[in-house]
Amino acid sequence: MIGQSIVLAAEGDIPFPPSVEDFFLPAIVPWGEHNSYWFTKFTALVWVSVGILIIFFLLSYRKPQLVPTRKQWIAESIYGFVRNNIAVDMIGHRGVAFAPYFTTLFVFILMNNLWQIIPGVQISPNTHIAFPAILAIISYVMFIWVGIRHHGFAKFMKHSLMPPAPWFMQPLLIPIEIISTFIARPVSLALRLFANLFAGHIILLVFTLGGFVLLNADAFFLKPISVLSWAVSIAITFLEALVIVLQAYIFTVLSASYVQGALADEH
Amino acid sequence: MTGDQTPQPAGGSGPPPESGAGYTALGYLIGGLAVWGFIGWLVDQWLDTGGLATGIGFLLGGAGGVYLVIRRLGTPS
């Protein structure tokens, strides 16, 4: 991205301010093709993420030892963190059964988010709504499925749609419950992840490209300010590191909270 | 450098069980306004009440959302 920007800066037309168009990159296969979205940088990044995760966890557990090696310790720490501090803490002893799914979800989102700040890549697949949307749909179908299996269909629907309230309040409340449980949950789950990463990438573009715009400015006293702009973009990169971990964590915790709600008995 | 390998006891520094409550409350409040505001707007289109039904819908929806937050999240389980 930066290399591209330098070339453009030399030509004197920097794509500034950044727009949604900056998120639709040319395809890799066929090379450089616009309007072809079957194999782009995002496709490649998702496959690379999956590959890295599979290889890392396979290698870490290939020869498990009682006293773990460093790699095994890292893998066990990640799994232990999600199992104990998310699954069991939120769902209770039944949460252990969901720990593999939550761990997969957590590391997959984390790895995909991480591309946002890795130099030379600096864009995450999750800046496209499609990837968070699919992840949200998986969590959504799972918590409904789990709830129906645990309670039975009628009891699950009654449990999640009929609040503890007098009968004459129900016509007012049930539509609100339908919206907030079955529509707002998956939509907010997907939008939260997508919007955070989208906004993060836009902010990084603004400060990085803004530096070049300032450098090319006609007014001489504006030129040194470009250094400040780049310094801010580096600072924002560190802020993004926090956002990346936090969003992966929130997505997992909220999925766990929905499963917990589906499994909860009447109270 | 293998660090501390004692298994973390459950119930340590994880999120409290009610972690989703904030977003649930937000969902109820916005959902209430959206649903009943929309129903009120539909009634408006139907009976041509000049925005009155939409207003009543928003009021009902807001009240329903607040009521749901109190009933679902107010009493500790």
For residue A128, pLDDT over 90 is answered with: yes
Note the pLDDT of residue A24.
86
Segment A56-70 shows an average pLDDT of 85
Tell me the pLDDT band of B1, cut-offs 50, 70 and 90.
very low
Stronger pLDDT, A64 or B28, i.e. the higher one: B28
With a CB cutoff of 8 Å and minimum separation 6, the contacts of A107 are A53, A78
The chain A residue lying nearest B67, using CA atoms, is A173
Number of H helices, E strands in chain B: 2, 0
- Residues present in chain A in total: 267
Say how far apart CA A170 and CA A103 lie, in whole Å. 38
Residue A234 has pLDDT above 90, yes or no: yes
> What is each CA distance from A263 to A91, A105, A124, in whole angstroms?
8, 20, 33
Q: Which amino acid is at A102?
A: F
With bands split at pLDDT 50, 70 and 90, how would you rate the model's confidence at A12?
low
How far is the C-alpha of A162 from the C-alpha of A152, rounded, in Å?
Answer: 15
Residue A62: pLDDT band by 50, 70, 90 thresholds? confident
ipTM: 0.76
Residue B18, phi then psi, degrees to nearest 5: -100, 30
pLDDT (mean) for A197-202? 94
Provide the pLDDT confidence category of residue A244 given band limits of 50, 70 and 90. very high
> Of residues A89 and A193, which shows the higher confidence score?
A193
Contact A95, B15 (CB under 8 A): no
With an 8 Å Cβ cutoff, are A85 and B77 in contact? no
The amino acid at A101? Y
- pLDDT at site A103: 95
Report residue A90's pLDDT band, with 50, 70 and 90 as the boundaries.
confident
CB nearest to B8's CB, from A85, A172, A254 = A85
* Confidence at residue B16, expressed as pLDDT on a 0 to 100 scale: 64
Mean pLDDT to the nearest integer, A94-109 = 94
Q: Which residue of B has its CA nearest to A164?
A: B71
Q: Work out the mean pLDDT of chain A and round it to a whole number.
A: 88
Tokens 């660090």 -> residue? B3
- pLDDT, residue A9, reads 47
User: How much is the pLDDT for B44?
Assistant: 92
A182 touches chain B (CB under 8 A): no
- B8-53: per-residue pLDDT in tens? 444 456 676 667 788 888 889 999 999 999 999 999 999 988 889 9
Cβ within 8 Å, pair A176-B14 = no
Tens digit of pLDDT for each residue in A141-174?
A: 999 999 999 999 999 998 888 888 888 888 889 9
Question: How far, in Å, CA of A30 to CA of B44, rounded?
Answer: 53
Supply the pLDDT for residue A33: 79
Distance, CA of A132 to chain centre = 6
Angstrom distances, CA of residue A140 to CA of A47, A57, A145, A181: 23, 26, 9, 10
Range scoring the smallest mean pLDDT among A7-11, A37-41, A179-183: A7-11
Q: Do A185 and B27 touch (CB under 8 A)?
A: yes
Read off the pTM. 0.85
Cα A153 off chain centre by:
31
- Give me the amino acid identity at A82: V
Q: What is the pLDDT of residue A10?
A: 47
In angstroms, the separation between the Cα of residue A5 and the nearest Cα of chain B is 40
Contact B37, B56 (CB under 8 A): no
- Mean pLDDT is highest, among A30-34, B11-15, B58-62, for B58-62
Residue with tokens 């296969």: A29
Average pLDDT over every residue of A94-114: 94
3-state secondary structure of B23: helix
Given CB atoms, is B76 within the 8 Å cutoff of chain A? no
